[in-house]
Amino acid sequence: MTDDHSRHDEAFETDVRRALSDPIPTDVVSQSIALGALLDMDHALAELTHRSDSEDHLAGVRGDDQIVATLTFETKQLVVEVEIGKRSRELTGQVLPPTRATVRLETPEQTVSRTTADGQGVFRLALVPSGPISLVIEGTDGSTVSVRTRWVVV
Amino acid sequence: MGTTRPLAHLKPVPMNLEALDGETGDVSHRSTPPTQPTGATGGRSDSEYAGGRNVGFVNGRSDGELLVAIRQGDRRAWAELVGRHGGRLWAIARAQGIERDQAADAVQTTWLSLIDNLDMIREPEAIGGWLATVAKHEAIRLSKRASKEPVRIDPALDEHADPVTPAPEAGLLLHERAVELRAAVARLGAPCRELLALLFSDAELSYAEISAVTGMPVGSIGPTRRRCLEHLRRSLEP
């Protein structure tokens, strides 16, 4: 009787093991390996120190309503403030203290777009994709600013 | 926008999963970093998790050595670390009951989190445990998101099902049995569901690793395994 039980147990466990078989898909592995391209020692990491997602306070004035994500990234030297319209997918940002710089919008797969920050450090980007993004900010005019923001999803 | 802000004193942030989702609100209220897992997720120390795996690398590099190389931009070391731990992270994410596309996001997020935290890892040799904790946190976070959507409990919609290729008779029976079992596991309470998923995962986690992920003492895993399988079996009886 004990043998019958253990045979049934074994058979049941074999069934369970087969049913739960769920190896990591190869495309998940390749995607993870591809993230190695993001190993970056050239830029200081700007940490996310504030985030809120809220109704645009100007919604009533403009007659539209959209959720705006407000993010603040910081290094010891500077602050990057960003607002992204979740529906419009438009980004407005500012580097403080005001810094002329090139700004790249990156996903894990590619650089999506580039722009420049003006004399006030203000920059704008359109068509911000969903999924993880990072901003890479490199000072022009002889500035040594070389920063990228922590990966965020907006 | 546009007013000058005083630069805030930077607080070290080993984990910043809130960065990944505005729904969790103001990031200045953060949960405990993963190097000190809380009782809420039941994790043990990263070193306990890592102890079983980080030995016996004859010609290969240990996790700590890989991290040193990765910090210098070594992409082969990165690929090796991914290969070494990816399967387990997938299993841990899926064990929280999330869908495959969510698990893929959780795994990607975990690796991105490592990239952003490379300089702040306190125990490089225990990186396996750090990764496991981040993956589990992220999977749980995504699982709460999913609960806002209708729950699929119809086994016919099982994502493992291949609707295109008709299976031969014997294969069809096995397939139906597998679908039935997966649905039954999904209906078990969370502790049994998670434990069975980890125990029977293709990643072959050790009891020490399962203990670190679940918080269950190693000695209780065997008896709990038996009880959970009994629950499962009884739930299938007509």
Domain ranges for chain A, please list them: 2-34, 40-153
Put simply, the answer to whether B112 touches A97 (Cβ < 8 Å) is: no
Query: From the candidates B3, B15, B16, which should be mutated to test the interface with A, based on the most A CB atoms within 10 A?
Result: B16
The distance of A135 to chain B (nearest Cα, Å) reads 13
pLDDT at B160 over 60: no
- A19 touches B158 (CB < 8 A): no
Do the Cβ atoms of B13 and A47 come within 8 Å? yes
Regarding the domain delimited by A40-153, which CATH topology (the fold level of the hierarchy) does it fall under?
A: Immunoglobulin-like (2.60.40)
B contacts of A108 (beta carbons < 8 Å): 108, 112
Cα–Cα distance between B125 and B114 in angstroms, integer?
A: 14
Task: Please give the interface size between A and B, counted as residue pairs whose CB atoms are below 8 Å apart.
Answer: 173
pLDDT of residue B203: 94
Q: Which domains does chain B have, with CATH numbers?
A: 42-151+188-236 (1.10.1740.10)
Task: Return the pLDDT at B155.
Answer: 45
**pLDDT tens digits along B53-111:** 545 455 689 999 999 999 999 999 999 999 999 999 999 999 999 999 999 999 999 99
What is chain B's mean pLDDT, rounded? 77
Q: Kindly determine whether residue B78 and residue A19, on different chains, have CB atoms separated by under 8 Å.
A: no
Say yes or no for a CB contact (<8 Å) between A24 and B27: no
Q: Do A48 and B1 touch (CB under 8 A)?
A: no
At residue B168, the pLDDT reads 59
User: What is the predicted pLDDT for the residue at B15?
Assistant: 46
Contact assignment for A15 to B79 by CB distance below 8 Å: no
Helices B190-199, B75-94: inter-axial angle, 10-degree rounding: 140
Q: Tell me what ipTM this predicted complex has.
A: 0.80
Of A20, A32, A53, the CB nearest to B86: A32
**pLDDT single digits (tens) B109-157:** 999 999 999 999 999 999 999 999 999 999 999 998 764 444 545 444 4
Q: Cβ separation of B182 and A13 shorter than 8 Å?
A: no
pLDDT per residue rounded down to tens, chain A (154 residues) = 567 778 888 999 999 999 999 999 999 999 999 999 999 878 999 999 999 987 655 544 444 557 889 999 999 999 999 999 989 999 999 999 999 999 999 999 999 999 999 999 999 999 999 989 999 999 998 878 999 999 998 8
Question: Which of A16, A24, A51 comes nearest B19 by C-beta?
Answer: A51
Check: pTM over 0.80? Answer yes or no.
no
